[in-house]
Amino acid sequence: MADELRLPDLAPESYEDIFTALRNAIPTFSSNWTDYNASDPGITLLQLLSWVAETTYYRIDRVPDASYRNFLLLAAGVPEQGVAQALLTAQRDIVRRAQVAISLGGQSVLMDPAYVELLRYLWATAGRDVDAAELHAVAQRFWASPDRAVTEDDFQKLAFLCTASVPDSAPLEKVRRVVIRRQEAGVRVTLVSGYIPQYTAQYTEADNLEDSTQPNPALVGTLAVTSLPMSFSALNGYDKLVYAVGQFLAPRQLIGTAVRVDTTRFTPLLASVDLVVARGYDPKTVLRAAMARITALADPLTGGSAGEGWPHGRPLLAHDLLGALGGMEGIDPSFPLEVHVQWLQGTRVGEAALGVGTVVEAPPYEYGMPWFVSLTLQALQSTWSIQVGVHGRIATDSRIARAEDP
C-alpha cells in the first residue's frame, strides 16, 4: 500500500494560461477583431471569463473537507449515526480466556486497536469542523496499520501493536522486542518483554577472603556478582503475554500457517574474569565498571555490538567479554585478560548447584538470552617486578664456569 495518497492535478492551467489561450484563438473565429488591447470591451469580457474559469477549476481540483470525513466513515464501514454503536461493539471485542478478559498493564487487550482508534476519532469529532490535513493523516495512519500477518515484518508489527497501549510501568506485560523465525512447521514468534535480569555485587579485598587454600600473591580483590532469582513469569513465558499475542495473531495469519508464540529463554551461564588493575586506579571501581560493561553487553534490549539487544539464540562466548573489556580505562593493557565462560545447557540447574531457588531446564540444542547466575571478577596487581627478580636470580645461578675461576 502506498505511503502517501497523491491526487491528480485536474486543473493545471492558471488565469494567465486560460486568457492567453482565449486571446490566441480569436483569429480562428473572427478576422475583423484586431484590437487586443485591455481597453477593448471584448478583451475585457475574455478576462472576466478567464477569472471565472480559474475559480471553477480551483473548486474542481479540491476535495471538500466533508468528503474526507465521508472517506473515513467508508473505511470504518459505518454511517455517521452508527459510529457510537460500532465503537461500543469494537471495544467489547477483546482477548478472552474461558470467557475471562485478559488484562495487560491494567488494560484489556483489544483485538483491533487500530479500528477502535479510528472509531474513537470519528466519535470525538462528530459535528466539528476538522482540517482536511488532519483527516488525511488519520486515514493514512489507519490504512498503514497492519491487518494481515504474511511477512516477517507483519508478524513483528502486529506483536508490537498487541501491547502498544500497555504502560512501561508493567514491563513483564509489554512486548519490547520480537524475533521471527521461519520453520518447516510454520512461523515461530519469540517475544522479549521489558524484563531485564537484576544482579547484586559484593567486593571483597584479598586480605579478607575466606578461601586461602590457593593463595595468589598478585590478588588484590574479588567482586562476586550474583543474579536475583527470576520470577515465575520471567522464566515460564509470561503466560498472559504469550496467550494474548497468540490470540491477536490468530485471525490475521493465513489459513494453513502454523504460528507458535513463545517467550525468550534465559539460559544460565557461569563466567569469571581476571584482570590486572593499572597503577593509580582503585580496584573496586575498576571491577564494578567491568561488571557494568559485561551486564550491559548481555542486555536483551540494548546489549550486543549494535545496541539492539543481545542476538537471540547466539551463545555469549569468552571473546565477547574480551571485546567488551578491551581498551577499558583502569585495566593494564600489558597483561592479558583471563576470561572463562561456561553455559549450563541440557541440565537441571537449581539451588544445589547455583544457590538460587529457581529451577531452569534448558535444552542442549537451543540458546536463548545470556543470564549470569554467577560472575566472578578478580583484580590482580602487576607482577613485572617479581618476574624481573626471578630472572636476575636465574641468570646468576646459571652462569657457565670459566677455566680461570677458582
Other CB atoms within 10 Å distance of the CB of residue 18: 20
- Please state the domain extents for the chain: 15-60, 65-145, 148-195+238-264, 196-230+265-406
**Interior angle at CA 266, CA 345 and CA 346, nearest 5:** 15
The pLDDT value recorded for residue 367 is: 81
Strands (E), 228-278: 259-263, 266-276
The pLDDT value recorded for residue 1 is: 42
For residue 215, CA distances in Å to 207, 210, 212, 218, 239 come to: 10, 11, 5, 9, 48
What letter represents residue 371's amino acid?
Answer: W
Q: How many Å apart are CA 3 and CA 21, to the nearest integer?
A: 38
Residues with Cβ within 8 Å of 213's Cβ and at least 6 positions away in sequence, in order, are none
Other CB atoms within 10 Å distance of the CB of residue 395: 9
The pLDDT value recorded for residue 34 is: 85
> For the domain 148-195+238-264, what is the CATH code?
3.30.70
Torsion on CA atoms 323, 325, 330, 333, rounded to nearest 10: -40
Residue 360: beta bridge partners? 349
H helices of 93-238, where? 113-124, 132-144, 152-162, 232-235
Contact 82, 58 (CB under 8 A): no
Classify residue 91 as exposed, middle or buried by CB count within 10 Å of its CB (0-12, 13-18, 19+): middle
For residue 252, CA distances in Å to 88, 147, 246 come to: 22, 6, 10
Q: What's the whole-model pTM score?
A: 0.72
Residue 400 C-alpha from the chain's centroid: 70
Q: How many Å apart are CA 189 and CA 246, to the nearest integer?
A: 9
User: For the chain, which residues score pLDDT lower than 50?
Assistant: 1-3, 235-237, 359, 385-403, 405-406
- Strands 369-380, 266-276: pairing is parallel
Contact 370, 299 (CB under 8 A): no
Taking the alpha carbons at both ends of the chain, their separation in whole angstroms is: 100
The pLDDT value recorded for residue 180 is: 94
At 384, list the grid cell: 613485572
DSSP string, 147-186: --B-SHHHHHHHHHHHTTTS-TT-GGGSEEEEEEEEETTE
The pLDDT value recorded for residue 386 is: 44
Mapping DSSP to helix (H, G, I), strand (E, B) and coil, where does residue 255 land? coil
The pLDDT value recorded for residue 2 is: 45
The pLDDT value recorded for residue 93 is: 94
The pLDDT value recorded for residue 391 is: 39
Q: Write out the H or E segment, with its range, that includes residue 105.
A: none
At 238, list the grid cell: 509470561
